[in-house]
Amino acid sequence: MHLKERLTIALHIKWVRLLLILILPFFMAALAASADYYCYRGRIYPGVYFNDLPLGGMKLTDAEAKLEEEFFSMERITFIGVKEKPRTLALTRLGVAWDRQETMAAITDAGTGYRGYPGRVQRLFGDGPLSIKGRLKVQNDKLDRAFDGLAKKVEKHPRDATLEVKGARVTIIEDRAGRTLLKDKLKQELFAALHKGRSEVALPLKSRPAGRTAGELAAYGIDNVMAAFTTTITPALPGRVHNIKLGAEAINGTLLFPGELFSFEALVGEITRAKGYREAPVIVGEELRPGLGGGLCQVSSTLYNAALLGNLEIVERLNHSQTIGYLPIGRDATISIGSVDLKFRNSRDHPILIGAEVSGEQLTFRLFGPPMAEKVEIRTSDIVRLEPPVRTEESKALARGEKKLLKQGKAGYTVKTWRIIYRRGKEVSRELLSHDRYRPTTTVYRIGIGPTADESEDD
């Protein structure tokens, strides 16, 4: 055979072999794919899971029925994790539903026939099984509203420990922690439960500690009466007694920390009928007239004296325009909401608790705190009496020279008030608290200018 012919035959054989080498893998792959396709036609490939539920080998219709039983049929979810009764809500109320069409399409695309073959290849050459995550339809606005409503029912505001004062006794009311619903985490927990076919979700709650604990209050050591002052209430005026009780209740239990300012006006607030205040006599000029909240000045005056005996810094105080019956001159403190206030500061190095009590015909203010190292004395000096002026009114109804008392005036005074501090029996300081002036009120007489009896007979 000619050399050229031999070379041509050899070349053809090489091309055939090369072609066979190139074609054979594709042929084998196509054959395997066809066999795989016909073997799993209409069924789900092995290694396919819906969440943790194995679907491999199942027909699509059977898989859908299984998902209906395990997942799609769920209509309600129960929230647990609080001591109260578990709360169950419909998924429709939450705005959450399974998207069946999209979920089954995802399973079909990843696990059956020609459409699922890329997923099949991935599992053959990948690290493990293929888990299909179900598709949910979520109305976020509706879900947020439902969670807001749930939060109102399960959340609790923390309650600080408080001090209850009854007479000379102080009781600590225990604190209580609150709780907050973590809504973002709840949303995650809800979706996780649905994907696992669970109908219960534990509410993710965060504890909110109280701002002030019973232990903190106990550490203040304010169960001891460090100073007290009492005035007598006149029972003849029920409205006035009622107002005194309301004012005392508003102040009772007030806790003042070191440096904190007490304001009668800020604490008691506006005096209104809505708060229960009644009309009672108040000083207007030289007269006593009915006024809403009459009697509150006795509350402020009694508290003022307790603050003096507690050696607290007096920031604002004004005496009455006239002398009053329940306190000596120089010891009172008037108030008028919006214009005149009583203010003092806790100038001690520890908290002070203010207690107020009306018992029988007595109003008592107590300051609770550690025992005082000093002794306080309140003293007055330089008292000057101001005689009441006299005014006369002429009257023809009275005979000439006849005199009738219409109104008895009251004397006024000027007075200095001092606070003297003693330690170990020795005076260590003397403070001029005030130099007050109480105006005298006018005595009024009616003088007759009418005819005398003799003149009447002559006529």
Residue-wise DSSP of 170-237: EEEEPPB-EEEE-HHHHHHHHHHHHHTT-SEEE--EEEE--SS-HHHHHHH---SEEEEEEEEPPTT-
Query: pLDDT-based confidence at 459, cuts 50/70/90?
Result: very low
Instruction: Kindly state whether residue 422 falls inside one of the protein's structural domains.
Output: yes
Shared-domain flag, residues 404 and 266: no
Shared-domain flag, residues 327 and 386: no
DSSP class per residue in 240-286: HHHHHHHHHHHHTTEEE-TTPEEEHHHHH----GGGT--EEEEEETT
pLDDT at 384 (0 to 100): 96
Shared-domain flag, residues 397 and 359: no
Which of 260, 346, 340 lies closest to 297 in space, CA to CA? Answer: 340
Shared-domain flag, residues 353 and 388: no
pLDDT at 369 (0 to 100): 94
Contact 259, 248 (CB under 8 A): no
pLDDT at 103 (0 to 100): 84
Shared-domain flag, residues 399 and 263: no
Instruction: Kindly state whether residue 247 falls inside one of the protein's structural domains.
Output: yes
CATH number at residue 437: 2.20.230.10
Which of 32, 43, 55, 39 lies closest to 130 in space, CA to CA? Answer: 55
240-266 tens-digit pLDDT: 999 999 999 999 999 999 999 999 999
Contact 52, 136 (CB under 8 A): no
Query: pLDDT-based confidence at 458, cuts 50/70/90?
Result: very low
Query: pLDDT-based confidence at 372, cuts 50/70/90?
Result: very high
125-141 tens-digit pLDDT: 555 677 778 888 999 99
Contact 182, 204 (CB under 8 A): yes
Instruction: Kindly state whether residue 159 falls inside one of the protein's structural domains.
Output: no
What dihedral do alpha carbons 105, 109, 112, 114 form, nearest 10°? 130
pLDDT at 395 (0 to 100): 85
Query: pLDDT-based confidence at 39, cuts 50/70/90?
Result: low
Q: What is the mean pLDDT of residues 73-102?
A: 87
pLDDT at 121 (0 to 100): 62
Instruction: Kindly state whether residue 410 falls inside one of the protein's structural domains.
Output: yes
Most confident among 101-115, 125-139, 271-285 (mean pLDDT):
271-285
Kindly tell me if the per-residue pLDDT of 5 is higher than 80. no
Residue where a domain stops, chosen among 372, 389, 422: 372
Which of 162, 166, 222 lies closest to 372 in space, CA to CA? Answer: 222
Residues near 254 by Cβ (< 8 Å), separated by ≥ 6?
Answer: 262, 267, 353, 354
Shared-domain flag, residues 270 and 411: no
pLDDT at 267 (0 to 100): 94
Provide the token pair at 235: 């029972």
Instruction: Kindly state whether residue 230 falls inside one of the protein's structural domains.
Output: yes
Query: pLDDT-based confidence at 66, cuts 50/70/90?
Result: confident
Residue where a domain stops, chosen among 372, 391, 413: 372
Kindly tell me if the per-residue pLDDT of 117 is higher than 90. no
Residue where a domain stops, chosen among 372, 399, 414: 372
Give the separation between CA 279 and CA 292, rounded to whole angstroms: 4
pLDDT at 31 (0 to 100): 63
Number of H helices, E strands in the chain: 12, 27
Percent of the chain with pLDDT over 90: 54
Shared-domain flag, residues 251 and 355: yes
Q: What is the mean pLDDT of residues 26-49?
A: 66
What is the helix (H) or strand (E) element at residue 4, kind and residue range?
helix 3-39
Instruction: Kindly state whether residue 305 falls inside one of the protein's structural domains.
Output: yes
pLDDT at 26 (0 to 100): 63
Shared-domain flag, residues 295 and 400: no
Which of 418, 388, 419, 421 lies closest to 405 in space, CA to CA? Answer: 388
Instruction: Kindly state whether residue 165 falls inside one of the protein's structural domains.
Output: no
Q: Is 124 left (phi over 0), alpha (psi -120 to 50) or beta?
A: alpha
Handedness of CA 242, 243, 248, 250 (dihedral sign): positive
Most confident among 18-22, 126-130, 366-370 (mean pLDDT):
366-370
How many structural domains comprise the chain?
3
Place of tokens 């922690």: 177
Range of the domain at 30: 1-35
Shared-domain flag, residues 443 and 402: yes
Give the separation between CA 219 and CA 217, rounded to whole angstroms: 5
What is the helix (H) or strand (E) element at residue 434, kind and residue range?
strand 426-438
Shared-domain flag, residues 298 and 367: yes
Q: What is the mean pLDDT of residues 42-71?
A: 80
Shared-domain flag, residues 394 and 298: no
Averaged pLDDT of the chain = 86
Instruction: Kindly state whether residue 212 falls inside one of the protein's structural domains.
Output: no
pLDDT at 281 (0 to 100): 77
Percent of the chain with pLDDT over 70: 84
Q: 146 versus 293: which is more confidently predicted?
A: 146
Shared-domain flag, residues 447 and 431: yes
135-194 tens-digit pLDDT: 889 999 999 999 999 999 899 999 999 988 998 899 999 999 999 999 999 999 999 998
Kindly tell me if the per-residue pLDDT of 32 is higher than 50. yes
Contact 49, 131 (CB under 8 A): yes
Which of the residue ranges 106-110, 210-214, 271-275 would you say has the lowest mean pLDDT? 106-110
Neighbouring C-beta atoms of residue 119, cutoff 10 Å? 22
pLDDT at 75 (0 to 100): 87
